[in-house]
Amino acid sequence: MSDAAFQRELRELLAERVAFDVPMARHTSLRVGGPVDALATPADRAELAALLSLCKRRGWPQRVLGSGFNLLVRDEGLDGVAIRLSRFRALVVLPGPRVHAEAGVSHASLTGLCARQGLAGLEFGAGIPGTVGGWLAMNAGIGTREVRDVVESVELLVPGEQATRTVEAGALEFRYRELRSTAPGAVLVAARFVVEPSSPEAVQHAMDELLARRTATQPLDVPSCGSVFKNPEGDFAGRLIEQAGLKGEREGGAEISTIHANFIVNRGGARACDVLALIERARRSVAEHSGVMLEPEVRILGRSAT
């Protein structure tokens, strides 16, 4: 797809805010993945709306990256336009109280604001990596609390439209680690979260406890994509993978973590095919040992090998 006309039209719209044939290994938390045809970083909502309209008109695939967590791009690369919303960083406290956060706001910025201002309700996000957009798309959370429990509304940009749509939480179809699309190709640009008055000390204490637990039980010091598999009902994917004897199993530079078996880490030089091989090995072994077919939580994108 990286022909001259494709590149010319994107440059006319985005100027220096688009690059071509960019290795996705630079933009995913696992540090693996082949090149994307175009990587776009729109400056604002108007430019994002124009980009979505252009992609729709030309039939170019488009997808939003977030900060690249919960994402595995194949070595063969990715067709179309990958969109980063890193310039969408508005973060404000509203009466109610509510917190308005654009999609590019990091988890650290959001939870840090809540801690400083003594706003309770989002402590469960402490240590969950990524951005607000990614949190929403994945319905991120822990066992007792998820994003859907705290979202009041979201703002969407739909291809072909210039203004955002506001969608109330009751109209959103959240599932386990998933938000079903409310319109084809729609991009989440912001969300409003419900919070409760508390004290900075209480909020920070709750966050510190969760972060300490996460640090002790997850391999946070090496590249990973987060949890690889969804937890089957009534069980844990990590327990099933460990029970199958796969902790520490390696393929190339990829390893099933010795700390938490539902994490695959990049020990250096891993390729996407190494990670995919471990994913398939884990699914097959768990099915043989426990009769459970694990479902990937990580989103696997890209061209298939020919």
> Is residue 73 a contact partner of residue 26, using CB atoms and an 8 Å limit?
no
The count of structural domains within the chain is 3
Q: Are residues 65 and 129 in the same domain?
A: no
Shared domain for 15 and 123, answered yes or no, is no
How far apart are the C-alpha atoms of 146 and 198, rounded to whole Å?
A: 20
**DSSP track, 153-171:** EEEEE-TT-SSPEEEEGGG
Tokens for 155, please give them.
């703002």
The segment with the largest mean pLDDT, out of 61-70, 115-124, 212-221, is 115-124
So what's the pLDDT on residue 256? 98
Domain range spanning residue 25? Answer: 4-83
- We report the CATH number of the domain holding residue 275 as 3.90.78.10
Please indicate whether residue 297 is annotated as part of the active site: yes
The catalytic residue among 102, 146, 249, 297 is 297
- Residue ending a domain, choose from 37, 56, 83: 83
Q: Is residue 190 part of a domain?
A: yes
Model confidence at 67, pLDDT cuts 50, 70, 90, reads: confident
Looking at the structure, tell me whether residues 151 and 198 fall in a common domain.
Answer: yes
- Residue 306 has a pLDDT of 57
If you average pLDDT over residues 8-16, what whole number do you get?
Answer: 97
Distance CA(102)–CA(210), nearest Å, equals 24
pLDDT-derived band at 208 (thresholds 50, 70, 90) equals: very high
What proportion of the chain, given as a percentage, has pLDDT over 90? 81
Is 197 part of a structural domain of the chain?
Answer: yes
Which pLDDT band holds residue 22 (cuts at 50, 70, 90)?
very high
Q: Is 149 exposed, middle or buried (0-12, 13-18, 19+ CB in 10 A)?
A: middle
Q: What is the pTM of this model?
A: 0.92
Residues 112 and 190 in one domain: yes
Residues 189 and 99 in one domain: yes
Percent of the chain residues topping a pLDDT of 70:
98
Q: Tell me if 157 is assigned to some domain.
A: yes
Mean pLDDT to the nearest integer, 236-260: 97
Decide if 224 is inside a domain. Answer: no
Identify the CA nearest to 29 among candidates 258, 298, 287. 298
Give me the catalytic one of 177, 192, 271, 283.
177
Clarify whether residues 191 and 100 are in a common domain: yes
Give the pLDDT score at 58: 94
* 112 and 76 housed in the same domain: no
Residue 191: the pLDDT is: 97
**DSSP, res 44:** S
- Give catalytic status of residue 227 as yes or no: yes
Catalytic residue chosen out of the listed positions 29, 198, 227, 257: 227
Do 185 and 213 have their domain in common?
Answer: yes
Residue 249 lies in a domain: yes
Asked whether 58 and 12 are in contact (CB, 8 A), the reply is no
Residue 129: give its domain's CATH number: 3.30.465.10
Q: CA 58 to CA 47: how far, in whole Å?
A: 16
pLDDT of residue 56: 94
pLDDT digits (tens, 9 = 90+) for 37-51: 999 999 999 999 999
pLDDT tens digit sequence for 269-290: 999 999 999 999 999 999 999 9
In the annotation, is 177 catalytic?
Answer: yes
